[in-house]
Amino acid sequence: MNAHRPIAATALLALSLAIAAPSPAQSALPAIVDGQALPTLAPMLERATPAVVNIATESRVTRNPLLDDPFFRRFFDFPAQPRERRAQSVGSGVVVDARQGYIITNHHVVSGAETIAVTLRDGRKLKAKVIGSDSESDVAVIQIPADNLTALKLADSDALRVGDFVVAIGNPFGLGQTVTSGIVSALGRTGLGIQGYEDFIQTDASINPGNSGGALVNLRGELVGINTAILAPGGGNVGIGFAIPSNMVSRLMNQIVAHGSVRRGQLGVAVQDLTPDLARAFNIPSNQGAVIAQVNPRSAAARAGLKEGDVVLNINGRPIRDGGSLRNSIGLLEVGEPVRLDILRDGKPQTIDAKLGEYVTLKISGEAINSRLSGATFEDIGPNSPLAARVRGALVASVESGSPAARTGLRKNDVILAVNRQAITNTAELKQLAADGGEVLLNLLRGREELLLVLR
């Protein structure tokens, strides 16, 4: 009986509204008031919405290997679970090349997906394949058959201003295509810890789960950003959403289409923000920029003549606000690209030309460290990693299924923070402290959780 009450109440409300509602002739809004047409976004949306698609993915999720440990199950009463289960998720995407069928979306929308289904505005459902993806910027390119598609034109996101009107188009909560409007609340948001490379547009246009990968467009119907994340303390929209700028998306897409991945160039420096205290210490009038704290030997920066204490003000004519801004600017450039840096050295302006190099990751096999880690590969946390400057340790680059390392519970992307309660910063220290011998205790970071693993 109780289950029917909401339905009955809803029906009563609908009936009362139907009775109270005026006739269509009475309720129709006029198209013109005092000789002026009423403002509407409908014509622009009729052009833009066919380029925004709904994305449904299916993936296979493996349960935590700890649940297979009899010792663990003895003390924790977990219900029986299958080793694997199917997981489904929904998101959004934007057609940016109608001739090739290229769609931009978020890396996290398609990551690990075994099947990707794209639903167009006209109802067509098509299978998509991944061209390439970049976890550090959360950008992915997928492709569908190019048949009578509509694409969005990319706008110059550098021309955006705080206060510009924008419209978000996506698939929130799997409801289907939905449009919300708002303004640009802020530009150049960094340091949020969402991605490795951050230069977000902040907007109050409603963005909710499922909007990821959808379009943020201007009033001309041009793409200014790809909706990516929200701040949602209660789980829903509170008017703080973030989008990746279209200029960043364009450069990343070009690399992904050409190489299947992003080949980021490396300058080879460690930087920090130019604080007022540092500006006074260096006798520098500027209040924004990035201070070079360290120059790596044999790097592009060293070859170009950059020195510790140099303050970078511009890269290729683009102002550098802080250390994150410098990292983002370099991170959008390919290996081998030339770069021009406007700097202050001892308070005097100079221009430095450099050619970006490539970061080569040094890897070490688990077998070379400890026989109980055989089947795993470890590497240092490189400057391109989203963990760089936030986490110190040795990264698990891969783990072979069924190997001794896998049986210990080690997983790809785990970070070894400490060995036998002694903190480590790289793979060399891991090798030194975790050598074959007695019992070894590993402190791990897995996502946002810290775990302990014992090698016996």
Contacts for 296-300 with beta carbons within 8 Å, 24 or more apart?
A: 296/268, 296/269, 296/270, 298/268, 299/266, 299/267, 299/268, 299/269, 299/357, 300/265, 300/266, 300/267, 300/268, 300/354, 300/355, 300/356, 300/357
178 contacts 49 by C-beta, under 8 angstroms: no
Cross-strand bridge partners of residue 333: none
Query: For residue range 390-431, what is the model confidence (pLDDT) as tens digits?
Result: 678 899 999 998 899 998 889 998 999 999 989 888 887 888
210 contacts 88 by C-beta, under 8 angstroms: no
282 phi, psi to nearest 5 deg:
-90, 0
H-helix segments, 260-322: 276-281, 300-304
pLDDT tens series, the chain, 456 aa: 333 333 233 332 332 223 233 444 444 555 666 667 778 888 999 999 999 999 998 876 555 554 555 544 444 555 555 555 666 778 899 999 999 999 999 998 988 888 899 999 988 999 999 999 888 888 999 999 988 999 999 999 989 999 999 999 998 887 888 899 999 999 988 766 666 677 899 999 988 888 889 999 999 999 999 999 887 666 666 788 999 999 999 989 998 998 888 888 888 887 888 888 888 777 777 677 888 887 877 788 889 999 988 899 999 988 888 887 888 888 888 888 899 999 988 888 899 999 998 766 668 888 989 989 999 999 887 665 666 656 788 999 999 988 999 988 899 989 999 999 898 888 878 888 888 778 889 999 988 788 888 887
315 contacts 332 by C-beta, under 8 angstroms: no
Residues tagged active-site: 108, 138, 212
As a whole number of angstroms, the distance between CA 301 and CA 70 comes to: 54
Q: What is the largest CA-CA distance in the chain?
A: 88
Closest CA to 140 of 151, 149, 129: 129
Query: For residue range 61-74, what is the model confidence (pLDDT) as tens digits?
Result: 555 554 555 544 44
Give 65-106 as a DSSP string. GGGG-HHHHHHS-PPP--SEEEEEEEEEEEEEETTTTEEEE-
For residue 425 the two structure tokens come to 């910063």
Which structural domains are found in the chain, ordered by start?
A: 51-143 (2.40.10.10), 157-259 (2.40.10.10), 265-358 (2.30.42.10), 363-455 (2.30.42.10)
312 contacts 290 by C-beta, under 8 angstroms: yes
Q: Is the overall model pTM greater than 0.75, yes or no?
A: no
